[in-house]
Amino acid sequence: MHIKKFTLRVLMAGVLSLLLATPGLTAQDTKAAQRKPMSIEVAQYTKRPPVNKKTVAEGRRLYENACIFCHGDKADGKGPVAYFLSRDTAPLPRDFTMGPYKFRSTESGEPPMDEDLFRTITKGIKGYMPGFAALDAADRWKLVYYIESLIPEDFEDVEPVPIKVVGRPVPMTAMSVQRGYRLYQKAKCWECHGGGGEGNGEKAPKLKDDWDIPLPPANLSMPSSFKAGNRPEDLYRTILTGLDGGAMPSSQEQFEGREQELWDLVNYIRSLSTL
């Protein structure tokens, strides 16, 4: 009698956990997500001032106050502080006369959205650049306009298209983390980031950015160090778009048509730390 009751309980617990641990997304979830794409912070930030000669010139003036030391008078990334930042291993401040751009919601090789630049300026880049949230939002938009005016062929007349977000974050169940682990293996993230995600993969010592400066892979067990944010939607964006000009490749081709599996990979990365 006792044994029977026990078996019954185990069976019930099994059924219950199967029900609770929804594997991946249901068809309904995917449909709902397609109707209303999840924001990956390309949503409008505050009201923007108009783009015209005056606001671009004001952007340049703000740039001279806040950015010139690092990004340089010619905006080519060669300000006086750049030397101290980058003589060993740190990336150079971005060259705004050329790009490429790392922090985008757009496909690899494309210019970023206005909102991507606004987000980077607002939040800063962990370890390398302060955030400028304390500047008036209108001023941050003017900085965006000034930067964009430096490569008109990339930013005028072109309407950048953000990547599609398929699905949304899934609960961090043991099953999801396990599926994410398998994707991490299959996508060979370990080649650079290492088996435990600590940034010590076999390719790590040789990685360099486009400017020939050594660029170590991120330590995935330290999400507070991620430059482009560590929320699930940030990780989804980083993995799909890659960080151009660095050594972090875009996974878009690899995950074409099965983008929703990325939410499991995101859970696996988040499981490597206690956030």
C-alpha to C-alpha distance for 114 and 160, rounded to whole angstroms? 9
Q: Which residues face 214 on adjacent strands? A: 208
Q: What count of residues does the chain have? A: 275
* Cβ proximity of 122 and 133 under 8 Å: yes
User: Does 45 help bind ligand HEC (rule: CB under 6 A)?
Assistant: no
User: Which range touches ligand HEC (CB under 6 A), out of 33-41, 43-51, 158-166, 221-229?
Assistant: 221-229
* Cβ proximity of 106 and 163 under 8 Å: yes
Output the CA torsion sign for 230, 233, 237, 239.
positive
Residue 47 token pair = 């009201």
User: Which range touches ligand HEC (CB under 6 A), out of 38-46, 48-56, 164-172, 218-226?
Assistant: 218-226
User: Does 64 help bind ligand HEC (rule: CB under 6 A)?
Assistant: no
What residues from 65 to 124 belong to the interface with ligand HEC (CB under 6 A)? 66-67, 69-71, 81, 85, 91, 93-94, 101-103, 112, 117, 120-121
What residues from 127 to 166 belong to the interface with ligand HEC (CB under 6 A)? 128-129, 132, 143
The three-class DSSP label of residue 214 is strand
Looking up tokens 């370890």 gives 127
What residues from 183 to 212 belong to the interface with ligand HEC (CB under 6 A)? 187-189, 191-193, 203, 207
Amino acid of residue 272: L
Going through the chain in order, the beta strands assigned E by DSSP cover none
Which of residues 31 and 202 has its CB atom nearest to ligand HEC in the complex?
202
Residues that bind ligand HEC (CB under 6 A): 66-67, 69-71, 81, 85, 91, 93-94, 101-103, 112, 117, 120-121, 125, 128-129, 132, 143, 187-189, 191-193, 203, 207, 215, 217-218, 220, 226-228, 235, 238-239, 243, 246-249, 251, 265, 269
